[in-house]
Structure 1
Amino acid sequence: MIVSNKLLSALFGAALAALALSPVATAEPQELAEMHVEMDGCEACHEDGEPSADGAFEFEQCQSCHGTLDEMDAVHQPHEGNLMCADCHAPHDMNVGDKPTCDSCHDDGRTPESILK
């Protein structure tokens, strides 16, 4: 059977796409806080390594690396002035790659897709 170069190229491209879209297996889930500790210890987020009473210092630390909510995408922008990063991203509870959903706080059925239309 003779297989054309176009068919082989298409099959190869499909295989690469499937590989790129497949989930990457990790040995152990890692909390957001653990990842930040690897960068610069607890001081990466906490002044003197200790949590602040109101979370303001930690919020400033998030913004110093990731930017303000207003500078981020359309999902983050409406929360500027209303929430701090840890309100949704819970660094000591969430694993790297976990994403909070709208229904974590909103019970009206909104999703990122519905608000970004």
Structure 2
Amino acid sequence: MTAYAIAHLQPEGPPNEEVLEYIERIQSTMDPHGGRFLVHNTPVEVMEGGWAGAVVVLEFPTIEAARTWFASPAYQELAPLRTRDVVLVDGVARDYDAAATAAAIRAEALRSG
């Protein structure tokens, strides 16, 4: 199942040399793990709550590929140049049904409670 790495970039002004080096080199760390950019340093449209900064979303074929990329020596060498808030998350199947998930949660709550 597809997985994602999501980074919240805080506003810091124009990119410095370290950030530019990070951007220049990151793709080569992702390639061996099947990673690709879906969103890169894109401002967000805040619909609820607060959010300062931009977002980056990377796609990987599996959560294990995302974990392996993040832990790789190639990425860890770059991480100090830019990494801030990063999470890895599994996607859902194409046929995911939120209503079925809610029903399963309700059923489990009834069994447990």
The TM-score range, normalised by the shorter chain, is under 0.3
More helix, by proportion: 1
More strand, by proportion: 2
- Normalising by structure 1, what TM-score? 0.23
- Normalising by structure 2, what TM-score? 0.24
